[in-house]
Amino acid sequence: MKAVLRGAKPGPTVAVIAELDALRVPTHPGADAESGAAHACGHHAQIGSMLGVATALSAPELRNALSGNVAFIVTPAEEFIDIQERLALRASGEIEFLSGKQEMIRLGTFDDVDMAMMVHTSAVNGSSVFSVGGTSNAHVSHQVRYIGRSAHAGGGPYHGINALQAAMLANTAINAQRETFRESESVRVHGIISNGGASVNAVPGEVIYEGRVRARSIEALESIAEKVIRCYRSGALAMGASVEVRSIAGYHGLIQDPTMQKLFVGNAELVLGRDSISVVGASQTHGGSTDMGDLSTIMPVIHPYANSASGIGHGHDYLIEDYDRAVVTPAKVMAATVLDLLGNDAQAARQAIDQSKPAMTAEQYVSVQRDRFKTELFEQV
């Protein structure tokens, strides 16, 4: 979904983004009874702040000050979850990439956009209201299917090949690899068993393990993923099972634009005062991943955090405590930043565009992502 507000004069287009999705956290107090979906990452606040920016900039005196356009874009599926369902959509041709911004880059939603910003909520940590700067991890997803042989678990387990044991051995092998991960690469390797077998009285003949590898750079990611895929195979090797590993193109690390960040920080200081903003170094990562990282490979972006929640992100206790901090203040600061970028004949926006060096074009991005999908089969059964 995209709506464009046109300024009085032509010029660059700045996107203000809001993410639409939730997570499955059934124990969250706000969880939907059927799906378990809950706002355990605070994306609902983003819609509020985006609408706040749209309301402010629609005022004629502000709109008339803009040399350029503001695109309000809502993006689905930032949380890289429900992999099997999304792979089914991919198989049916409805989507190609598994996240909203990835797919929208492919579909051309950002073709007429020059730069983008959004504000994400975060848990309150100390006195700062905004945390600005830093990066995020790149990631790749693995859909790992162990194929064994089902057999009666009591009457004839020796006829079976246990796909669950193969997956568990693989997990042990991954844990044995952890000492080889470099701290400087912020490596995270984690997974879930999304299908652990069909019934307790049968040797599991098929098991699905969903794995994820994260690291600061795509290069580091590739070398760690190679090791992890070797571990997946080792479990199958030991049990005499087969294993199919599908690698699914995940996110790129986030690069934040210094010109946009400086304007955002200046406006945050005007609204809140100097001590309310913490700026972290460009290389600092908190380990998570976002598809704003993908967007940052093709245009200048910023992705500040509004510290407004209690609890732990993605946890059952993550709740927005202060909607003024989560919604209203980010709206004010983003609206003022758009005015800085597109006011004064859009000099600041043009400067940011001129100085930024995106790693690739949208077309190159799509081709890089396509190449990251692959399926490997290690056959023993």
User: Cα torsion at 9, 15, 16, 19 (round to 10°)?
Assistant: 150
Judge contact between 115 and 352, C-beta under 8 A.
yes
Does residue 45 interact with Zn ion by CB under 5 A? no
Stretch that binds Zn ion, among 25-33, 36-44, 304-312, 351-359 (CB under 5 A): 36-44
Near Zn ion in 111-130, by CB under 5 A: none
| Residue 317 per-residue DSSP state | T
Instruction: State in angstroms the smallest separation of the CB of 121 from Zn ion.
Output: 8
Stretch that binds Zn ion, among 33-41, 63-71, 97-105, 245-253 (CB under 5 A): 33-41
Calpha distance 171→322 (Å, rounded): 40
Does residue 18 interact with Zn ion by CB under 5 A? no
Instruction: State in angstroms the smallest separation of the CB of 210 from Zn ion.
Output: 16
Instruction: State in angstroms the smallest separation of the CB of 45 from Zn ion.
Output: 10
Two structure tokens written together for 211: 């794995």
Instruction: State in angstroms the smallest separation of the CB of 91 from Zn ion.
Output: 26
Nearest-CB residue to Zn ion? 41
Calpha distance 274→309 (Å, rounded): 21
Does residue 41 interact with Zn ion by CB under 5 A? yes
- Cα dist. 219→56, 186, 215, 246, 253 in Å? 42, 13, 9, 19, 11
Judge contact between 140 and 219, C-beta under 8 A.
no
How many C-beta atoms surround the C-beta of residue 367 within 10 A? 11
Instruction: State in angstroms the smallest separation of the CB of 117 from Zn ion.
Output: 15
Question: Which residue, 242 or 290, is less far from Zn ion as judged by CB?
Answer: 290
Stretch that binds Zn ion, among 27-35, 39-47, 125-133, 361-369 (CB under 5 A): 39-47
Question: Which residue, 46 or 67, is less far from Zn ion as judged by CB?
Answer: 46
Positions in the binding site for Zn ion (CB under 5 A): 41
